Structure 1
Amino acid sequence: MDNRELRECAAVALSVLDLTNLKDDCTAAEIETLCARAQTAHGATAAICIWPRFVAQARAIFGENGLIRIATVVNFPSGDLAVDEVVRETVQAIADGADEIDLVIPYRRFKEGDEAAVAGMVRAVRAVCPQSVLLKTILETGELKDPQLIRRASEIAIAEGSDFIKTSTGKVAVNATLEAADIMLQVIRDSRRNVGFKPAGGIGSVADAALYFRHASAIMGENWIMPSTFRFGASGLLNDIDAVLSGTAFSTPQAGY
């Protein structure tokens, strides 16, 4: 990839980035910094992704202009909460100002054969999300491992009304992979529904982002990548995007969420 292509890729990556801080010890001061970082000299990120306890703070900072969306997580990261508890989390997050809900499926129960647990969880959360609130369903593909399980989880999540399917929480040993992306994108294509894709965890450079862009374009078409259909969940990726767009560094693969 030459410098021009790298800069073009960086600009698109910025526009589809969910700038994330889901550290267990995240503080209000770090959220303030995150909100400021999301508004870069090169443009804004698509969203920030934060713990529910910080949603009201972020909404107060951003106001109601809607330029940068606020995503939060529920049933996160374990996927083990009861449906009614997850619904309460979701309702409160939306009341606090969340624009997007990233829901972890009960992936351990799903691995044991309980498809109904996944369908019921997604359906219940979808039911309390207004049309304006995106539901991004996290499959935790690194824990599912089996391609058939990843495929089936994707199908269920889409059938129950998910706006996006997302690979990972970023909290397990294996997070986003191109192999999982391939399966999930094929399911989206075959569903013929307007569903987006979000790889998350381990995407730390524009070079990494380019691999996912190529993969998505090959399956979904050249004009498919936009904030309404594609997001990256990452914290470190913005550093490399800034470096590339500022002309201060070349992109090299990096670790991290």
Structure 2
Amino acid sequence: MTDTNPAEEARALIACLDLTDLNDGSSEADVDALIERAQTPHGNVAAICIWPRFVAHAKARLPAGMKLATVVNFPDGGEDIEAVIAEAKQAIADGTDEIDYVIAYRRIDGDPGYAARQVEKLREAIGGVTLKAILETGELHDPALIEVAAVSALHGGADFLKTSTGRTQTSATLPAARILLRSILQDESGRALGFKPSGGIRSFEDARAYRDLADEVMGKGWATPETFRIGASGVLADLLAVADGKRAPGERPAGTGSAY
């Protein structure tokens, strides 16, 4: 978005944010606070992402137009697909719009078809609900395995490719993001697909870098809330600071020890 100013860019990034609270000790009060934060002076975020046990509570409080996302098989990426399906179906009954599913990423090396079949089973079980496949790219280490995971998830019917849970030593990285985006670009299914970097995105500069990469690979203007989400809990404050004109790009964000 070279033709826009930083405040406009920050507002556009807020609109692509999946504002997240997946803390182990999260409560209904925390979810209420998340919903309040999600309604900013510069527009609402795209979605909130919370634990399944809070979906019904949040659904009754969510403003019109904001999506509700939850996680299943999170964060371990286990292999009990029937348990995952049951959890997802309950979340859908409670009102979720989107399911973020951690694939069985440990099986990618040696048995990538397994992960694809698991995604396909979940896809069939949840119907048209948006399915984001979390690949845990930081644990795959080899770029070739990241590509295999991406293609496997897409073949299984995932609507979005998501980098990571944010619970591992390495979360989203730009090289991994490029692999996921290229896999989306090369997909021949004809389905509308999206991309979600998640984990370690803490500043306006971080978020903009992923947005710019998405537009570079997919074409300028591709990264909209329908195709591009940012999974983060802490970046909103910095996006608001830039949108308010309180911080210029390149300055140190408040509360950090580096330029980014």
Normalised by the length of structure 1, the TM-score is 0.93
Partner of 2:54: 54
Partner of 1:118: 115
Partner of 1:154: 150
Return the match for 1:218 from 190, 197, 216.
216
Structure 2: distance between partners of 1:54 and 1:81: 24
1:130 Cα deviation (Å)? 2.8
1:239 Cα deviation (Å)? 0.5
What is the aligned-residue RMSD (CA, Å)? 1.7
Partner of 2:226: 228
> Does the Cα contact within 8 Å between 1:70 and 1:98 map onto a contact in 2?
yes
Q: Alignment partner of 1:72: what SS?
A: strand
Partner of 1:32: 32
1:92 Cα deviation (Å)? 0.3
Gaps of 5+ in 1: none
Structure 1: distance between partners of 2:75 and 2:211: 26
| 1:26-64 Cα shifts (integer Å, max 9, x gaps) | 11111000011111111000000011011111001127x
Alignment of 1:1-257 (within 5 A): 5-62=5-62, 65=64, 67-111=65-109, 113-131=110-128, 133-192=129-188, 193=190, 194-251=192-249, 252=252
> Does the Cα contact within 8 Å between 1:18 and 1:232 map onto a contact in 2?
yes
Gaps of 5+ in 2: none
Q: Alignment partner of 1:61: what SS?
A: coil
Structure 2: distance between partners of 1:81 and 1:90: 14
Structure 2: distance between partners of 1:218 and 1:115: 28
| 1:47-91 Cα shifts (integer Å, max 9, x gaps) | 00011011111001127x3x1100000000000140100000100
> Does the Cα contact within 8 Å between 2:118 and 2:156 map onto a contact in 1?
no
1:217 Cα deviation (Å)? 1.1
> Does the Cα contact within 8 Å between 1:48 and 1:69 map onto a contact in 2?
yes
Structure 2: distance between partners of 1:35 and 1:80: 30
Q: Whose helix proportion is higher, 1 or 2?
A: 1
Q: Alignment partner of 1:174: what SS?
A: coil
Structure 2: distance between partners of 1:242 and 1:217: 22
Residue identity over aligned pairs, in percent, reads 48
Structure 2: distance between partners of 1:33 and 1:169: 22
1:124 Cα deviation (Å)? 1.2
Q: Which amino acid aligns with 2:136?
A: E
Structure 2: distance between partners of 1:250 and 1:191: 38
> Does the Cα contact within 8 Å between 1:6 and 1:206 map onto a contact in 2?
no
Q: Alignment partner of 2:107: what SS?
A: helix
Q: Which amino acid aligns with 2:127?
A: P
Structure 1: distance between partners of 2:30 and 2:214: 32
Q: Alignment partner of 1:168: what SS?
A: coil
